[in-house]
Amino acid sequence: MGHSGARPWEAIGRYRRYWLSAFIILPACSAGLMLAQVLADRLPLWLEIPTLLIFALLFAWISAGFWTALVGFALLMRGRTDTAPGSPELRLAEPRPQSRVAIVMPIYNEEVERVAAGLQATYKSLQQAGALAHFEFFLLSDTRDPAIWLREELVWSALCQSLDAFGRIHYRRRPINNKAKSGNVADFCRRWGKDYEYMVVLDADSVMNGETLYRMLEMMEGNPQVGIIQTQPVAVNRETLYARLQQFAQHLYGPIFSAGLRFWQLGDGHYIGHNAILRTTPFTQYCALPVLPGRAPLGGPLLSHDFVEAALMAKNGWEVWFVPSLPGSYEEVPPTLIDDLKRDRRWAQGNLQHLRLLAGEGLRSAHRFLFINGAMSFLAAPLWGIFLILGALGSLHWTNTASGGSITPFDRGWLADPMPFWLFGVTAVLLLSPKFMAVLWVVRQRGQKDHFGGLFRLLASMFFESIFSILMAPIRMAFHSQFVIQTLMGRGVHWGGQVRGDQETSWADALRYFGWCSALGLSLAALLYPLLGAWHFAWLVPILGGLTAAVPLAAWTSRPALGRWARRHRLFVIPEEVHVPQELQALSMDSVAYLPHIEGDPFIQVVVDPRFNAIHTALQRNRTGAWPRAANLCHKALEQGPQELNNRERNILLSDRNSMLALHRAIWSTTDRARLAAWGLQSDDQELADVQIIGGK
C-alpha cells in the first residue's frame, strides 16, 4: 500500500476524459447560448434562466451518450477493440493448477428450474472447455418461502446427481438475509472466500460460456493488479414483445456504447454486480459496504452495491476493467414494462443513495463520475419534466404576448426563426445518430446483417424500435420522476424477487399501473391544445401521445404471442436466435426434465415422502435449543394439519432434523383418515383395495 507510481493507462485515461469533458461541456454551452438567443426578449427572466440551465444540463447528458457512441463506432469500424497499455486482454497467463474459482449465484425466491437450467448450462460448457478443474459452484440462497427452499434443496441434489457434481456444486441458505444480495455474497466471502482466489458472480438468470470463464481466469492470472473484470452480458431468451425490443436494442446499439465506455474508463471501469470475475481477497478486505447514516431510503444499507464495490476496489489501488469484447456472457431482461419499472424503482433508490458517497475520501474521480451518471439516469426524468413545463409556460407566454392574447391555430411567425429547428435537429442527431452508426457497423461486417434478419428487416426493426422508444420515453419520464420524488420524500422500496418468466400484463393491471399516465396525457392534451394552438401543440404530440398510449402499450407489448409473431416475421431478431450458442440450447426446460417434480405442497411432500424427507433431513442439524418450540409445532401439525402452519412455523420445523424425523414417522403411523388425507396419504381401505387390485393384475 502507499505506492503512488502511475499506471500505464492512467495518463491515457486522464487525457481521454479531458477530451470527453470538453466535448460534453462546450457543445452544451453553445447550445445553451443558441437557445438564449431564441428566448432573449421573448420570455421573462424568471422563466428564461431555469429553462436555459436545465436545457444545458440535459444537452450535456445526451451528448455524453453521443460521444461515447461515436468513439465506440470509430473503434469498431477500425476493426479493433481498445487495447491501451495495461489492458488485461494483452497479458494472459495459464492458470496455476491451484487456482480456484468459485462461481457464486445468489438467488432469492427464484424459479428453481430456470436457475438449475442456467447453472447446468454453464457447468456443461465449462466441462466441454476442459476447465472444470478450476471451478466450483455455490448456489447462495436467501429464499424465505419454505416451498421454494425445499425445491432448491431437492433440485440441488438432483443436479449434483445428474452431473456427477457432488463436491463441485454447493448450496447454502442463509437463515437471516441481511443486506440482501451484497450481504449474501459477503457471507460467502466470510465463510469460504479464503479457499478461492477468484469468484465469478452470476445472477439467477445468468449463463456463461466455459471458454469465456477460462479466458477471464487467464486475464486475472496474468494481471495481478486487476481486481474486477466485468463482461458485457447480452440479453437473450425472452418472448414478450417488450423484452424482444429491449434485446434487439441492446444487441444492435450495445456494442458501440460498450466500446466507447471502455475507451473512457480503462482501468477505472464499472461493475454491474454479475457476469464478472473478482479477486476475492481484496474484495473481502475492502469491499464491505458502508451503512449510510440515517434511515432508508437515502440512508441505511446501500441498495445498489455494485458501483460502490467497484469504487472501493479502485480506491484501494486495484484496477477494474470492463471487457466488452468477451463473448458468451448472457442475461435476461424483465419481460414487461411493469417488471422493468419495478427494477428501475430499486435502482433509482440505490443510485440516489450513491450521491451521498460522492465526497468519499480517496474515491477515484472516474467512479465519482459513475455515481453522478447513475443518479442522472433517474434525475434526468424530473429535469426533463420541469423543462417541458417551463417550455409550455414559455409557449403560453409567448403566444399571449405575440398575438395580444388571441390564439391562432397555426402561428407561422415561428417559421421565420430557424434557431429552434437547428436546436431540434442537433438534439435529434445526438439522440438518433447512434442508432444509424450501429446499423452501419452491422452492415459493414460480413454476414452480420443476416444475424439481425437481413438488411430490410434490420432497418424495419430499427424503425419500429425507435418509434417504440419515443413513445416509451415520456412514460419512463413520468415513472422515474415519481421514483425520484418518492425516494426524496422518504418512501423506500422493499427487496423482492424478480419476475423471470414471460408473464403477460392483463388489461386490468395495465389500467391499474398506467391508467394515471393515460389520464394525464389526455388531460394535458385537452388543456394545452386550446391554450397553445396547433403549431405549439404539435411539438408536444410525441410526449402526450406516449403518455396517452401508456395502457395499451404496456398491455400489448407484454404479449408473448406478439413477440413470437415478430420473430416469425424476422423482426427484432438477435444473432443468438439465428445461431443459438450451445450453452443457450442447453437452457431449454427439457434439459432439466429429470429434476424431481413436486406435486402440491412441497412441505407435505418433504415430510411424507421417504426420499425427499431423507434428502432434506440429512442436510439439517439437530437444533436442541429449538426443540421445545418445535415439539409443540409437531403436535400442531399432526392435530390440525399442515395447512394450519404458517411459513415461519414451517421454517422452524424444516430446520430441525429431529422434528422432520418425528413428523415423518408419526404421519406414517397414524390411523386417522382425516389426518392422512390432510397429509396427502390414502386411508387403509383405499390402500388395501389398491394392493388387492395390483395383486389381482
Partner 1 sequence: MFKDESSYSVNPAGELLADWTAEAMVVANNAPVLARVEQYMARLSLNDTQRLWIRGEVVAQLRGADMEGEALYARAFASLHMALATLTDGDELDARLDLSLKLPVGETHDGKSCRWLQRQMAPAIARSSMASRPLNRSWGAALLRLATQSLLDRRAITANRRVLPGEA
Q: Which residues within the stretch 553-612 sit at the binding site for partner 1 (CB under 8 A)?
A: 609-612
The least CB distance from residue 596 to partner 1, in Å, is 10
Query: Residue 213 and residue 134: Cα distance in Å, rounded?
Result: 10
- Is the distance from CB of 238 to CB of 560 less than 8 angstroms? no
Could you give the 3-state DSSP secondary structure of residue 277?
strand
Task: Please report whether residue 6 would count as binding partner 1 according to CB under 8 A.
Answer: yes
* CA angle in degrees (0–180, nearest 5) for 523-524-529: 110
The interface region with partner 1, picked from 25-33, 289-297, 466-474, 552-560 by CB under 8 A, is: 289-297
The least CB distance from residue 245 to partner 1, in Å, is 40
Task: Please report whether residue 687 would count as binding partner 1 according to CB under 8 A.
Answer: yes
Q: 175: cis peptide before it, omega within 30°?
A: no
The least CB distance from residue 678 to partner 1, in Å, is 16
Of the pair 357, 540, the CB lying nearest partner 1 is at 357
Query: Residue 378 and residue 351: Cα distance in Å, rounded?
Result: 8
Nearest to 112 by CA among 161, 163, 147, 164: 147
The least CB distance from residue 642 to partner 1, in Å, is 18
The least CB distance from residue 160 to partner 1, in Å, is 7
Q: Which residues within the stretch 485-504 sit at the binding site for partner 1 (CB under 8 A)?
A: none
- Is the distance from CB of 49 to CB of 405 less than 8 angstroms? no
- Is the distance from CB of 115 to CB of 107 less than 8 angstroms? yes
Task: Please report whether residue 289 would count as binding partner 1 according to CB under 8 A.
Answer: yes
Among 272, 314, 510, 633, binds partner 1 (CB under 8 A): 314
The least CB distance from residue 461 to partner 1, in Å, is 44
- Is the distance from CB of 115 to CB of 184 less than 8 angstroms? no
The least CB distance from residue 276 to partner 1, in Å, is 18
Exposed/middle/buried for residue 606 (C-beta within 10 Å: 0-12, 13-18, 19+): buried
- Is the distance from CB of 212 to CB of 115 less than 8 angstroms? no
Q: How many residues bind partner 1 (CB under 8 A)?
A: 74
Task: Please report whether residue 182 would count as binding partner 1 according to CB under 8 A.
Answer: no
Of the pair 9, 572, the CB lying nearest partner 1 is at 9
Query: Residue 522 and residue 72: Cα distance in Å, rounded?
Result: 40
Strands (E), 115-202: 135-141, 169-173, 198-201
Q: Which residues within the stretch 343-402 sit at the binding site for partner 1 (CB under 8 A)?
A: 356-365
Q: Which residues within the stretch 115-174 sit at the binding site for partner 1 (CB under 8 A)?
A: 156-157, 160-161, 166-167, 170-172
Q: Which residues within the stretch 8-27 sit at the binding site for partner 1 (CB under 8 A)?
A: 10
Query: Residue 439 and residue 454: Cα distance in Å, rounded?
Result: 11
Q: What are the cell numbers at 545?
A: 401521445
Strands (E), 182-245: 198-201, 207-208, 226-230, 234-235
First to last CA, the chain: 80
Sign (positive/negative) of CA torsion 287, 370, 205, 503?
A: positive
Find the largest Cα–Cα distance for the chain.
102
Cβ atoms within 10 Å, residue 593: 9
Task: Please report whether residue 661 would count as binding partner 1 according to CB under 8 A.
Answer: yes
Indicate the length of the chain as a whole number: 697
Among 92, 457, 670, 673, binds partner 1 (CB under 8 A): 670
Q: x/- contact string, 217-256, with partner 1 (CB under 8 A)?
A: -------xx-------------------------------
The DSSP call for residue 231 is -
Nearest to 395 by CA among 293, 265, 530: 530
The least CB distance from residue 606 to partner 1, in Å, is 12
Task: Please report whether residue 535 would count as binding partner 1 according to CB under 8 A.
Answer: no
Task: Please report whether residue 316 would count as binding partner 1 according to CB under 8 A.
Answer: yes
The least CB distance from residue 5 to partner 1, in Å, is 6
The least CB distance from residue 357 to partner 1, in Å, is 6
Residue holding cell 459493414? 444
Of the pair 291, 526, the CB lying nearest partner 1 is at 291
Q: Which residues contact 512 (CB under 8 A, 6 or more apart)?
A: none
The least CB distance from residue 421 to partner 1, in Å, is 42
Task: Please report whether residue 291 would count as binding partner 1 according to CB under 8 A.
Answer: yes
The DSSP call for residue 301 is S
The neighbouring-strand residues paired with 201 are 104, 276
The neighbouring-strand residues paired with 683 are none
Task: Please report whether residue 665 would count as binding partner 1 according to CB under 8 A.
Answer: yes
Of the pair 179, 559, the CB lying nearest partner 1 is at 179
Q: Which residues within the stretch 605-644 sit at the binding site for partner 1 (CB under 8 A)?
A: 609-615, 617-619
The least CB distance from residue 178 to partner 1, in Å, is 13
The interface region with partner 1, picked from 5-13, 50-58, 214-222, 244-252 by CB under 8 A, is: 5-13
Of the pair 32, 86, the CB lying nearest partner 1 is at 86
Q: Which residues within the stretch 188-217 sit at the binding site for partner 1 (CB under 8 A)?
A: 189-195
The neighbouring-strand residues paired with 136 are 102
Task: Please report whether residue 279 would count as binding partner 1 according to CB under 8 A.
Answer: no
Of the pair 479, 679, the CB lying nearest partner 1 is at 679
Of the pair 7, 636, the CB lying nearest partner 1 is at 7
The least CB distance from residue 191 to partner 1, in Å, is 5
Of the pair 325, 670, the CB lying nearest partner 1 is at 670
